[in-house]
Each structure stands twice: as C-alpha cells, then as structure tokens.
Amino acid sequence: MDKPIIENLKILSECFNHKSDTFSNSIIFVNEVNKISVQLEDETNFRITYNLHFDKKTLLVPEETVYHFCLSLFKRKYDDVELPFSIKKTIEIGEWFKTEKEESVNIISAIEKELDYNYRLKHLFLESARFEITYCNGLLILEDKEKEYFSNVFNFRKIQITPLKKPHEA
C-alpha cells in the first residue's frame, strides 16, 4: 500500500471520529455510520468499498482523488447516502496559491502562528472566499465551496510558500 496516503487517511479518519485497522493490502475505517475499505488496486488506482444502507458500493478511483472520496464518506451523516462518481480536477497547493493569492498565504501564516502558540494544536477551521480550510493533526485539508475542484490533503510541514510577486514585478 502507498504508505503516505494510508498514514494520512488514518489521521483524517481520527479527525472525523473513525477507528481504523490496517491490513497488508487494505485499511478499514469504521464509526457508527460508516464501514469503509480502501485497497490499492494497482499502481495508480484505489478500490473504495463502503456500506450503503444494507448493501455495499464499490468505486475505483485514481490516486489523486482518494482523499476526496474518503473525506466525503467520513462526513456522511447517514449510511444511505451514496457518493456520486464524477470526474473533476483535484485542487493542488500551487493552484490554491494562484487562485487565492494573498489570502492563501495569510491562512498558512495564521496556522503557523497558531502552531507557534500551541504546538499541540489538533484542529483549526478556517475559510476563505472560495475554500474551506482545515488543519487537522499536521494535515491541511482544502475543500472547494464552489465544487469545481475535488478536495485534497497536504502535509502542512511540506508546504512551500513561494513569495508573491508585486504587481509591478509581474
């Protein structure tokens, strides 16, 4: 299995009150609503199986969308909610910086400031005009309010902020 994705999914599952069990080729997440299995299908795809009322539903999703689908399942309130499968572009950190310019840099700075004040910080919820941003145990979750992009998850410590160019430098 892809270790960074699995480790990040375990952290995400805890943020959404799920317990997890890791096996040699899969991981299972459970809470009072969900039973979700994520399995590496091949080099670039994951098989996600989840409970749907009294049945199961299986999706084959590309690696870049696995966070989006797992986040959607972690947030389900009822087990009869089916995830629609669609194809969209997944938000990348560079795209977020381009889309929201100074606002994204200010959000990263605010999280860094909060971490300097409280190094044990587990959750922080922020939002911008376009995105819902969640800091969760070292991960940054970006969710597009306009639903143009799929959600994505990033290791907060690995985010590189490139200095913004001033208008006269562009």
- The whole-angstrom separation of Cα 113 and Cα 134 is 15
**Whether residue 39 has pLDDT greater than 60:** yes
Which residue type does 5 have?
I
What per-residue confidence (pLDDT) applies to 53? 86
For a pLDDT cut of 70, what percent of the chain falls above it?
Answer: 94
**pLDDT (mean) for 155-166:** 71
pLDDT 10s digits, 11-26 = 999 999 999 999 888 8
Which of 117, 144, 118 lies closest to 133, judged by CA?
144
Residue 154 vs residues 7, 50, 58, 96, 120: alpha-carbon distances, Å: 12, 24, 25, 12, 18
Express each pLDDT in 122-149 by its tens digit: 899 999 999 999 999 999 999 999 999 9
C-alpha–C-alpha distance, residues 151 and 148, integer Å = 10
Confidence of residue 160 (pLDDT cuts 50, 70, 90): confident
Query: Whole-angstrom Cα distance, residue 66 to residue 64?
Result: 6
Q: Measure the CA–CA gap between 20 and 6, rounded to whole angstroms.
A: 10
Specify the pTM.
Answer: 0.87
pLDDT at 164 over 50: no
pLDDT of res. 1: 59
DSSP 61-106: EEGGGHHHHHHHHHT-SSTTPPPPP---EEP-HHHHHHHHHHHHHH
CA distance 33 to 83: 14
Contact criterion met (CB below 8 Å) for 46 and 66: yes
pLDDT digits (tens, 9 = 90+) for 91-122: 999 999 999 989 999 999 999 999 999 988 88
